[in-house]
Amino acid sequence: MTGNAALAGLTARMADRTARIGIIGLGYVGLPLALRFSEIGYSVVGFDVDPGKVTDLNARQGYTRYVGNRTEEVRFASPFVATDDFALSAECDALVLCVPTPLGKYHDPDIGYILDAARSIRPHLRSGQVVALESTTYPGTTEEDMLPELMRPDLEVGRDVFVVYSPEREDPGNAQFDIRRIPKVVSGVTPACLAAAQALYGPAVDTLVPVASTRVAEMTKLLENIHRAVNIGLVNEMKTLADRMGIDIFDVIRAAATKPFGFTAFYPGPGVGGHCIPVDPFYLTWKAREYGLHTRFIELAGEINRYMPDFIVEKLMDALNGARKPLNGARVLVLGASFKKNIDDVRESPSLLVIERILAKGGEVILADPYVSELTLEDGRVLTPVAADAATVAGCDAVVIATDHDAFDYEMIGREAALIVDTRGRFPASDPKVTRA
């Protein structure tokens, strides 16, 4: 095939929906994307190295509350198969990499999953395919790191194979914005690659946002998440100051949010968690060192957010002291283990840090979370959540609202709890039982 013919053929197959889509990584990003492409009529192959996921999905069973838990059926509208055999990637017209990008031991970026995925599909790459990376990473990853591991000498990027970067914009648990409705940033290594990105994502997403380069797209994703991390750090610092001054920070935020311009409301909590906000800033601070820069503002926000679990436990100790009870030996009910409400994702959740600090000071932790079946702490201890019923609430010396799932009965909790340490603003600060943290 010539370059124009390869792109024309790919574009035609995407347009008439005869293209086969391969999704590499069937987690919180990959599985919803696979469902979306299936919904609009494409045949989909899902690749994952976890045999449990492959087995579950071939049996049409999900494994996350975001798309259905293990007892719920996952419905694909068109042919779908899950596999760990990357030879099947040769049968796909598009390959979308949705693999994790965690941090290493010393908070350095770990792009090993991206490079492994590229190496896995390299032997099976053929002319007329588009390879898209969606994983969050630092600027330069697509072209400087992934591309050399992906391409073979007999294939030319932009002529035979089209390599693109389009960062995921998932918000688990947010029913208002799904893949179709969230504008999607797209970029390509060459202009032909960008055209392939538009052909790939155009049928699935209402609004595409083309940008000049993959580096721009990579930096865009980091800016989005760093913007949140910095503003959460700011409001968490404001919370500690407002607490010292006897001011309810939630009242302040509600009043400030009435300004119709120049202000966006961010809310305090026990810190930051999840796959992006605690991780992504380190990708940019690491890359910045290559250019001799120190991202002080970003790192300061991270320090503030990491302090919040300690602040919460200090407020818990103060509340218990007011009732003439030490934390050592106290029964503390922690509500919520996931990093945000109404989902089951506990990755980097500040709730874990709150629990670990309570245990370190001799407190007994009872955990309630309707979305989590068990929680493994860093020291290997396993907590099995219980129901947050009236007897459980009344039987504890204090209740800490770490994650404010809507499933909790807050009216009952307010009635039965001896003390409430509220990190989410669910209860009025004027309630004598309530300590804001």
Amino acid found at 70: R
Residue 67 has pLDDT above 50, yes or no: no
Residue 129 has pLDDT above 90, yes or no: yes
Amino acid found at 24: I
C-alpha to C-alpha distance for 365 and 385, rounded to whole angstroms: 10
Q: What CATH homologous superfamily does 3-212 map to?
A: NAD(P)-binding Rossmann-like Domain (3.40.50.720)
CA torsion, ordered 162, 164, 170, 175, to nearest 10 deg: -50
Spell 92-109 as b/e; 16+ CB within 10 A means b: bbbbbbbbbbebeeeeeb
- CA–CA distance from 61 to each of 6, 65, 123, 338 (Å)? 37, 11, 31, 22
Residue 422 has pLDDT above 70, yes or no: yes
- pLDDT in the model for residue 64: 57
Predicted TM-score of the model (pTM): 0.89
C-alpha to C-alpha distance for 389 and 394, rounded to whole angstroms: 9
Angle between helices 249-256 and 214-245 (to 10 degrees): 130
Q: Which of 54-58, 368-372, 401-405 has the lowest mean pLDDT?
A: 54-58
Stronger pLDDT, 329 or 378, i.e. the higher one:
329
For residue range 137-172, what is the model confidence (pLDDT) as tens digits? 999 999 999 999 999 999 999 999 999 999 999 877
Q: Which of 74-88, 169-183, 357-371 has the lowest mean pLDDT?
A: 169-183
Do 132 and 198 contact (CB within 8 A), yes or no?
no
Stronger pLDDT, 121 or 68, i.e. the higher one:
121
- pLDDT in the model for residue 73: 59
The pLDDT of 301-311, averaged and rounded, is: 93
- pLDDT in the model for residue 66: 52
Going from N- to C-terminal start, the domains of the chain cover 3-212, 247-436
The pLDDT of 270-289, averaged and rounded, is: 83
Average pLDDT, the chain: 92
Catalytic residues: 276
The pLDDT of 213-217, averaged and rounded, is: 98
- pLDDT in the model for residue 153: 96
Q: What CATH homologous superfamily does 247-436 map to?
A: NAD(P)-binding Rossmann-like Domain (3.40.50.720)
Nearest Cα to Cα of residue 343 among 123, 99, 133, 28: 28
- pLDDT in the model for residue 163: 98
For residue range 185-197, what is the model confidence (pLDDT) as tens digits? 999 999 999 999 9
Instruction: State which H helix or E strand residue 227 sits in.
Output: helix 214-245
For residue range 87-124, what is the model confidence (pLDDT) as tens digits? 999 999 999 999 999 887 777 889 999 999 999 999 99
The reply to whether 3-212 and 247-436 are identical in fold is yes
Residue 68 has pLDDT above 50, yes or no: no
**Which of the four pLDDT bands, split at 50, 70 and 90, describes residue 274?**
confident
- pLDDT in the model for residue 108: 84
- pLDDT in the model for residue 62: 66
Please say whether the dihedral angle defined by the alpha carbons of residues 235, 240, 245 and 250, taken in this order, is positive or negative: positive
For residue range 239-258, what is the model confidence (pLDDT) as tens digits? 999 999 999 999 999 999 99
The pLDDT of 73-84, averaged and rounded, is: 86
**Which of the four pLDDT bands, split at 50, 70 and 90, describes residue 1?**
very low
For residue range 384-416, what is the model confidence (pLDDT) as tens digits? 999 999 999 999 999 999 999 999 999 999 999
